[in-house]
Amino acid sequence: MDLPGQVNCETCRIRSCAVEVLDHQELQILKTNCAGAVYKKNERIFQQGSLCSNITYVKTGLIKIHKNGPSKDQILKLVKPPRFIGIPTVLGDKINHYSATALMPTTVCFIVTGIFKTLIMRNGKFANEVINSLCQDELTFYDRSINQMQKQIHGRLADALLFLADEIFLSDSFELPLSRSDLGDYIHATRESVTRTLSRMKSDGLIQMQGRLITLADKEMLVRISKLG
Amino acid sequence: MDLPGQVNCETCRIRSCAVEVLDHQELQILKTNCAGAVYKKNERIFQQGSLCSNITYVKTGLIKIHKNGPSKDQILKLVKPPRFIGIPTVLGDKINHYSATALMPTTVCFIVTGIFKTLIMRNGKFANEVINSLCQDELTFYDRSINQMQKQIHGRLADALLFLADEIFLSDSFELPLSRSDLGDYIHATRESVTRTLSRMKSDGLIQMQGRLITLADKEMLVRISKLG
DNA sequence: GTCAGGATATGATTTATATCACATTTGTAG
DNA sequence: CTACAAATGTGATATAAATCATATCCTGAC
């Protein structure tokens, strides 16, 4: 982790919808209680179980939110910036209920929890935007959760690849930011099953692979596989 | 559905934490934009895909939140009152992204979405309580989601029984409010597997069953099964 | 370069649970 | 009470994916 020192929220160009509605004075409050940080690939941003007094705002990069389950670690979601994460930690216990780890070089801002709460109390529009964001997360996670449960590996993997292409990289060709093992934790499959399914997709001409570089060759078919489950 | 007419939020004894922080004037606003309703078992409260202009506050009873998946309907969660549901619908499209159905006789209040938003904007404490509630939902759902994915049927069913006993009925003996089929949709299993697993638990002396009445006979063991997965 | 440790590939086997097929019970409308 | 539909129980079979066991491929350190 690298600390680039003080940030300036007033001139920041990657502001969230929520911060966008703050007035001059509120931005000043935010600015003096906000610190930036830079993370390299695979660096932990915060750790499940540890005490936490900050909300994290992911500005650039890509992170995974993951959590220990009864038998293994599971990736709950990949978070594409810009996005607040860890808001649930404002709750009573102030303990992180999940971990966050950078999958690519990532920049974040930490906002002191108390200040975040103050802004919610003080500015209704801010609160409203935060609520919108939480609601959107909820709906997205419901969808993902149902897909994970009901689709079989081909469908889940197709989902993941389409998500990476369409939501994260905005290109049908990208460097896979996850290892086979991580991909498995993300789509709830074993490393071996991921390998097998990717190989199958390659030999079926759905994707191309050269090392980490993946190209979605037959997107129509991938969408169909995703829909069929 | 039965409409008992006007409600009085000022004298209501089943108020949420959020409504608790409203002042006299705000309670008046709420009162005039809030309608009560009563549902019988298996009545639909709102339907996925339909337009919706209300937040639902579940006062008494028990409801299931369920959603169509690629292959079948799935119960996302059982909601124990008092609780707001459908807050995500305040978002852009105003379309329900899931259905809610009463599992027992249930009373609810509908609050016009616009008023809900007004209260958020106007009263920071209210907004804060709503955020707390959403965050709590999020964490609970993460836990449930991971358990569903990683535990096998015995563990998932034990979870469900313990949840019903400890969270819903506050008793180790209760009338099962879900059919085998519903239970299956809740723990992501087939009707047949639920039957088989319940029979097994009965013959192992973990539970007793007389018709709909279930008694958790060996709770220690159920907890152990739940933990082991 | 070489070497070691991690990541990936791939085949054989096992297993949990779905699916299918049918029997039995329960609830309910007439 | 009767009858019919819905809910539940139970066995046989199929199957997706995990697990186990190696083998091969990278990648970075020295």
Query: Which nucleotide minimizes the distance between its C1' and the CA of B192?
Result: D9
Residues B30 and B118 occupy one common structural domain: yes
- How many CB atoms within 10 Å of residue B67? 18
Residues of A in contact with B87 (CB under 8 A): 131, 135
Say whether pLDDT at B49 is over 80: yes
Q: With 70 as the cut, is the pLDDT of residue A207 above it?
A: yes
The mean per-residue pLDDT over the stretch B210-214 comes to 92
Residue whose CA is minimally distant from C25 C1': B211
Q: For B107-120, what is the mean pLDDT?
A: 94
Mean pLDDT of A216-229: 94
Picking from B88, B145, B155, the nearest residue to A139 by CB comes out as: B88
pLDDT at B80 over 70: yes
Query: Is the residue at A1 inside a domain?
Result: no
Same domain? B118 vs B153: no
Shortest distance between the Cα of B218 and any Cα of chain A, in A, equals 21
Could you give the 3-state DSSP secondary structure of residue A90? helix
Q: By the CB < 8 Å criterion, does A95 face chain B?
A: no
* B72's tokens: 């079948």
Same domain, yes or no: A113 and A30: yes
> What average pLDDT does the segment A108-116 reach?
93
A209 nearest nt, CA–C1': C8
In this prediction, residue A211 has a pLDDT band, given cuts at 50, 70 and 90, of confident
Distances from the Cα of B5 to the Cα of A134, A181, B9, B35, B106, angstroms: 33, 57, 13, 7, 15
Query: Over the range A84-115, which residues count as b (16 or more CB within 10 Å of their CB) and which as e?
Result: bbbbbbbbeeeebbbbbbbbeebbbbbbbbeb
- In strand D, the nucleotides that come within 7 Å of a protein beta carbon are 7-12, 16-21, 26-27
B143 alpha carbon, distance to own chain's centre: 15
Q: In this structure, are A75 and A165 located in the same domain?
A: no
Check residue B228 and give its pLDDT: 82
Please check whether residues A55 and A97 belong to one and the same domain: yes
- For B126-152, write each residue's pLDDT tens digit: 999 999 999 999 999 999 999 999 999
Does a structural domain hold residue A141?
no
CATH number where B170 lies: 1.10.10.10
Interface test mutation site (partner B, options A142, A152, A153, A156, max chain B beta carbons within 10 A):
A142
Q: Which of A6-15, A18-27, B211-220 has the lowest mean pLDDT?
A: A6-15
What CATH number has the domain bearing residue B46? 2.60.120.10
Give the count of alpha carbons within 13 A of B197, CB side only.
Answer: 22
Mean pLDDT within B110-126: 94
Do residues A92 and A139 touch, judged by C-beta distance below 8 A? Answer: no
State whether B96 and B186 are in the same domain: no
Reference B133, options A92, A136, A142; nearest CA is A92
Q: Which of B85, B98, B118, B135 is the best substitution to test chain A (most A C-beta atoms within 10 A)?
A: B135
Q: How far is B89 from chain A (nearest CA, A)?
A: 8
Average pLDDT value for chain A: 93
The answer to whether residue A182 sits within a structural domain is: yes
Mean pLDDT of B95-122: 94
Provide CB contacts within 8 A for A197, sequence distance 6+: A153, A154, A157, A189
Hey, how many other C-beta atoms are within 10 angstroms of the C-beta on B197?
19
User: pLDDT tens for residues B153-207?
Assistant: 999 999 999 999 999 999 999 999 999 999 999 999 999 999 999 999 999 999 9
State the total domains in chain A.
Answer: 2
Interface check for B87 against chain A (CB to CB < 8 A): the answer is yes
- A213 by Cβ neighbours in 10 Å (0-12 / 13-18 / 19+) ranks as exposed
d(CA B100, CA B66): 6
Asked whether residue A93 is assigned to any structural domain, the reply reads: yes
Percent of chain A with pLDDT over 70: 98
Question: Chain A residues with CB inside 8 Å of B189's CB?
Answer: none
A157-204 tens-digit pLDDT: 999 999 999 999 999 999 999 999 999 999 999 999 999 999 999 999
Q: Does B8 touch chain A (CB under 8 A)?
A: no
Strand D reaches within 7 A of the A8 CB: no
Are A33 and A114 part of one and the same domain? yes
Per-residue pLDDT, A88: 83
Where are the alpha helices (H) located in chain A, listed in sequence order?
17-20, 24-31, 113-122, 124-150, 153-163, 180-187, 191-203, 219-228
Residue A10 lies in a domain: no
Which residue type occupies B207? I
Looking at residue A5, what is its pLDDT? 59
Is the peptide bond prior to A82 cis by the omega test (within 30 degrees of 0)?
A: yes
Q: Which residue is nearest to nucleotide D9 (CA to C1')?
A: B195
- Same domain (yes/no): B23, B114: yes
Where in the sequence is the domain holding B155, given as residue range(s)? 148-228
The pLDDT assigned to B5 comes to 59
**Does residue B106 sit in the same domain as residue B156?**
no
| pLDDT at residue B8 in the model | 86
Average model confidence (pLDDT) for chain B? 93
Q: How far apart are CA B127 and CA B119, in angstroms?
A: 8
User: Structure tokens of A34?
Assistant: 């906000």
Asked, for residue B217, whether it belongs to a domain, the answer is yes
pLDDT in tens, A128-166: 999 999 999 999 999 999 999 999 999 999 999 999 999
Residue-level pLDDT at B229:
77
Looking at the C1' of nucleotide C17, which residue has the nearest alpha carbon?
Answer: B193
Is pLDDT at A2 greater than 70 in this prediction?
no
Strand partners, A84: A57
Predicted confidence (pLDDT) per residue in A87-100, tens digit: 987 777 789 999 99
Residues B35 and B114 reside in one and the same domain: yes
Residue A132 lies in a domain: no
Beta bridge partners of A99: A66
Confidence of residue A37 (pLDDT cuts 50, 70, 90): very high
The model's pLDDT over B193-203, given as tens digits with 9 standing for 90+, comes to: 999 999 999 99
The answer to which of A53-67, A84-98, B45-59, B190-204 has the lowest mean pLDDT is: A84-98
Of A186, A189, A214, A185, nearest to A202 (Cα)?
Answer: A214
A138 inside domain: no
Distance in Å from D30's C1' to A212's CA comes to 26
Question: Average pLDDT, stretch A210-225?
Answer: 95
A90, A124, A158: which is the final residue of a domain?
A: A124
Residue A140: its chain B contacts at CB < 8 A?
none
Q: Give rounded-to-5 percent helix, strand, coil for chain A.
A: 45, 25, 30
Residue with tokens 């099964």: B225
Answer whether A137 sits within 8 Å of B138, measured CB to CB.
Answer: yes
| Average of per-residue pLDDT across B88-108 | 89
Which nucleotide is the nearest neighbour of B191, by CA and C1'? D8
The answer to whether residues B117 and B159 belong to one domain is: no
Judge if A152 and A99 occupy the same domain: no
Q: Which of A97, A125, A135 sits opposite B90 (nearest CB)?
A: A135
pLDDT band at B4 (very low <50, low <70, confident <90, very high): low
